[in-house]
Structure 1
Amino acid sequence: MRYEIFDCPIDVLTKAETVAIVREAMKIRKPMTHVALNVAKLVNMRFDPVLAEDVKNSDLIGIDGMGIVLAARLLGFHVKERVAGIDLFEEALATCATDGFRPFFLGATPEILARAVAAVRTRFPAIQFAGFRDGYFKQNQENEVVEEIRKSGADCLFIGMPTPRKERFLAAHRHNLGVSFVMGVGGSFDVIAGHVNRAPSWIQNFGLEWLYRVYQEPRRMWWRYLRTNTIFTGMMIRAIGERLNSSLHNHTAGTKA
């Protein structure tokens, strides 16, 4: 079910429902793009039109962050669970291993990428990669990269490049990749490679993964999360205020009638 919060569409699905949609897309070769929506991305959409266009044009917009879950619930939407991008990524890889779909990894440094590929092969011995390429290529090499992906015959493409580079790459080449399912995975290659640790389950359940990332990379992350979380809090306060005012107005109008 698709809804909208803060002018951004979201797909309210469980992880199982999302995996089923992804599997079907690869099975019938239906082009599909997934984006994992968190607070930082939702806020940055307001200032980055390329990012906003990428998110809004995606076929699946998953609720990745607990902040989005809480916002949707406060605004009246029934969200059963959060579908974290890395969890969906791992489920998609499991699907590739069991159903014979072939993934292509694009992004990260050569070292991290090699470690991520090795870790996936260890975890899913049956998986067959269509290919992989690090993210350190120049803009004038993009057509070469696109052609490599297209010729690989990949069923799915996982892109581990930072925003807004990933969005600009897809905006330019989305329709020439020849891949059924495309998903941006952020820093998931780093996690799978063992370069970055994911937060413990109890921290994930409390929606504090962002704080754990700040703990691991304080210099790079503290300002990003301070800025986006502050803006998001303001957005939520305004939205709740408007909702309360609307309810009060409707109640008053009903009493007068």
Structure 2
Amino acid sequence: MEFHIQDQVIRISPRESVELLAVLSQRLRTQEGFALATLNLDHLVKLYSDPAFVVAYTRHDLVVADGNPVVYLSRLARRPVGLVPGADMVVPMMQLAAETGTRVALVGGTEATLHAAAERLCACVPGLQVVARIAPPMGFDPMGPQGEAVIAQLRASGAGLCLLALGAPKQEMLAARAHAALPQMGFASVGAGLDFIAGTQLRAPLWVRRIAFEWLWRMLSNPRRMMPRYARCAAILPDLMAGAWRLRG
């Protein structure tokens, strides 16, 4: 499945979680870096209005479908992909890191959130080494001196895998920049994944996620923030559906 945005192509690959984990295992074992983005409808809204975000996304060599609407669009295009939520990949990625002896860095949120997330991940993944916890300041600019400072900290940490929980587009823009500067390191943007691990945000119950109503759970949990977001997402769906239909060939 692919999306054509501002003369650029964003292609979903790997297509399934099993395939993704196989690729990540190989990359970590060979110390071949990567930048992993988790595409959802909110990202597509931002991509259509932010050329810098598009450039950052095209510099990711791994992109998975993080939202059910993206999965449904892929089916409409007859190029189906599976749902691979970034939050669901956090623990499996940490297990791969432990298995391969890869040290981990966490970037995003607050010091308290990162500390809690690191403690819980180390408790459930034996052998995991979290060697850096970096909480950028408010107003963090991934493309300015602050971004360069984070990259310097990552370089000094000796980490081989970095989880970014800064929200879009900051996490993807930092991942693209850091991947170019540190090509041996893997960067995975996981959104609220660390908040869920730390317990600072409550994720929808599993049964809600299984019936594809996590979006409703999130909207009811924070309507002031989420309702405008979902309205913007709904507004671009007709164009996305038309584009998916054209891909049927």
Q: Same fold (TM over 0.5)?
A: yes
Match for residue 255 of structure 1?
Answer: none
Residue identity (%): 26
Report 1 or 2 for greater relative contact order, CA contacts < 8 Å, sequence distance ≥ 6: 2
RMSD: 2.2
Q: Aligned residue for 1:235?
A: 239
Q: Distance in 2 between matches of 1:210 and 1:49?
A: 26
- Letter paired with 2:242: R
Quote the offset at 1:150 in angstroms.
0.6
Q: Secondary structure at the match of 2:130?
A: coil
* Cross-structure match for 2:3: 5
Moved more, 131-140 or 111-120: 131-140
Q: TM-score, normalised by structure 1?
A: 0.85
Alpha carbons of 1:129 and 1:11: their partners in 2 closer, same or farther (altered >3 Å)?
same
Identify which range, 119-128 or 152-161, moves more after superposition: 119-128
Asked whether 1:203 is paired with 2:208, we answer: yes
Matched, 1:134 2:135: yes
- Counterpart of 1:47? 49
Residues 1:115 and 2:119 aligned together: no
How far off its partner does 1:242 sit?
Answer: 5.1
Change (3 A) 1:178 1:149: farther
Q: Unpaired segments of 5 or more residues in structure 1? A: 247-257
Matches within 5 A, 1:156-171: 156-171=161-176
Q: Which residue of 1 aligns with 2:78?
A: 76
C-alpha contact (below 8 Å) 1:110/1:134 kept by paired residues: yes
Shift of residue 48 of structure 1? 0.8
Counterparts in 2 of 1:177 and 1:202: CA distance versus 1, 3 Å: same
Structure 2, unmatched stretches of 5+, are none
C-alpha separation between the residues in 1 aligned to 2:84 and 2:14? 9
Task: Say whether the 8 Å CA contact 2:34–2:61 is kept in structure 1.
Answer: yes
Task: Note if 1:181 corresponds to 2:186.
Answer: yes
The aligned counterpart of 2:30 is 28
Q: CA deviation at 1:241?
A: 6.4
- Distance, in Å, in 2 between the alignment partners of 1:142 and 1:11 is 27
Is 2:57–2:173's contact at 8 Å kept on the other side of the alignment?
A: no
Greater Rg by CA = 1
Aligned length: 241
Instruction: Give 2:40's aligned residue.
Output: 38
Do structure 1's residue 14 and structure 2's residue 16 form an aligned pair? yes
For 1:240 and 1:168, how far apart are their aligned partners in 2? 26
What whole-Å deviation, never above 9, does each CA across 1:152-200 have from its counterpart, x for those lacking one? 1111011111222223334444322354211111111110101112112
- SS of the aligned residue for 1:46 comes to helix
1:104 and 1:130 mapped to 2: Cα distance? 6
TM-score normalised by L of structure 2: 0.88
